[in-house]
Amino acid sequence: MGLNVLWLQSGGCGGCSLSLLCADTPDFPAMLRDNGIDLLWHPTLALQDGQELIALLQDCIAGRVRLDALCIEGALLRGPHGSGRFHVLAGTGVPMIEWVRQLAAVAAHVLAVGSCAAWGGITSAGANATDACGLQFEDERAGGLLGTGFRARSGLPVINIAGCPTHPGWVTDTLMALASDAFTANDMDPLQRPRFYADQLVHRACTRNEYYEYKAGASQPSDLGCIMENMGCKGTQAHADCNTRLWNGEGSCTRGGYACIACTEPGFQSPGHPFHTTPKLAGIPIGLPTDMPKAWFVALASLSKSATPKRVKVNATSDHVVLPPMSRKTGLR
């Protein structure tokens, strides 16, 4: 018996769905089918029309169709004044938040796909006129649309597959684990993200790590150097496996020359400074690597900079390798 998956889009850009379509497989429907996943509805992939979708939703709520995994993409729009009328499901006159509440009540598992559905994300940035929130969080505050005490039929809280957008592998791996009954509460971190990607940092396997070790920073986007010290990169703090589970098999933000903006973290959308800059206090970045005391970082940074090889220092502020590693007999064994 397959895992029946219903995927609905709420307030957001649809980017997680677009990312999902880049899953590393030549036959996406076959990949789901071969792993015991039955996609009841997805706004991009489904063939049913609007009336058929409404009938399906009603059948799920009534128990005529078994709902195993409810995937919500996009923030939940509670405005204005808690009515949810900013987002009404077409053809029903019923706010999307009411559909989500009813469906979540009968689903075996509820998944927040993307940081908007998990924490509110970009949709909740600024004045948040739509009163957007996540399914079970508002940034780091537990609550959200469903409340802190919500548990799906399986006994699990909302599974937060956070990211902006999500890596397709994070979504498919989670669904496959659920389909094989191999996902438990122990497989989620304190923010209810799947540990298989959230127990890692973006910094791991970053191609700029040698520059980071010597604190040889880039000064502009095209430079090869580390982009933490001057250009806003939060890869040493962000929980994700982006540099070991590459996007489209070959890329990541940092490999493309862009700072990691910690899009898997609550509150990433409002850092209080431009995304491409690193805020500092007395010349020291405010956002330091996870688990590293500031005094240690200052001491190590000073030592590292004094020991920086010329090759690393020159290449860090260039868009190509100017000085390659020296070729000579080193006596290595």
- Strand ranges across the sheet with 37-41: 37-41, 3-9, 69-73, 109-113, 159-161
User: For residue 116, what pLDDT is reported?
Assistant: 98
């980017």: which residue's tokens? 15
pLDDT at 164: 97
DSSP single-letter state for residue 131: -
- Tens of pLDDT, residue by residue over 300-333, are 777 788 888 899 999 999 999 999 988 777 666 6
Question: Tokens 């996902």 sit at which residue?
Answer: 183
Domains of the chain with CATH codes: 3-198 (3.40.50.700), 200-319 (4.10.480.10)
CB-count burial class (<10 Å; 0-12, 13-18, 19+) for 94: middle
Check residue 249 and give its pLDDT: 87
The helix/strand/coil state of 16 is helix
Q: Which residue has the tokens 């290595």?
A: 332
Q: CA–CA separation, 325 vs 329, rounded Å? A: 12
Nearest to 18 by CA among 262, 247, 210: 247
Which residues, given as ranges, of the chain have pLDDT below 50?
Answer: none
Alpha-carbon span 216 to 208, nearest angstrom: 10
What is the Cβ-side half-sphere exposure of residue 287, based on CA atoms within 13 angstroms? 23
Segment 63-80, tens digit of pLDDT: 999 999 999 999 999 999
Considering only CA atoms, which of 45, 61, 121 is closest in space to residue 94? 61
Structure tokens belonging to residue 215: 């604190």
What phi and psi values does residue 39 have, to the nearest 5 degrees?
Answer: -85, 105
pLDDT of res. 161 = 98
| 260 token code pair | 């990691």
Cα(103)–Cα(331) distance, integer angstroms? 67
What is the Cα–Cα distance from 47 to 77, expressed in whole angstroms? Answer: 26
Q: How many whole angstroms separate alpha carbon 229 and alpha carbon 282?
A: 13
| pLDDT tens-digit readout, 17-71 | 999 998 888 888 899 999 999 999 999 999 999 999 999 999 999 999 999 999 9
Q: How far apart are CA 6 and CA 274, in angstroms?
A: 37
Q: What pLDDT score was predicted for residue 35?
A: 94
Q: Tokens for 37, please give them.
A: 């996943």
Q: In one letter, which amino acid is 111? A: L
Determine which helix (DSSP H) or strand (DSSP E) holds 174, and give its type and residue range: helix 168-179
The reported pLDDT for the residue numbered 102 is: 98
> How many CB atoms neighbour CB 3 within 10 A?
21
pLDDT of res. 36: 95
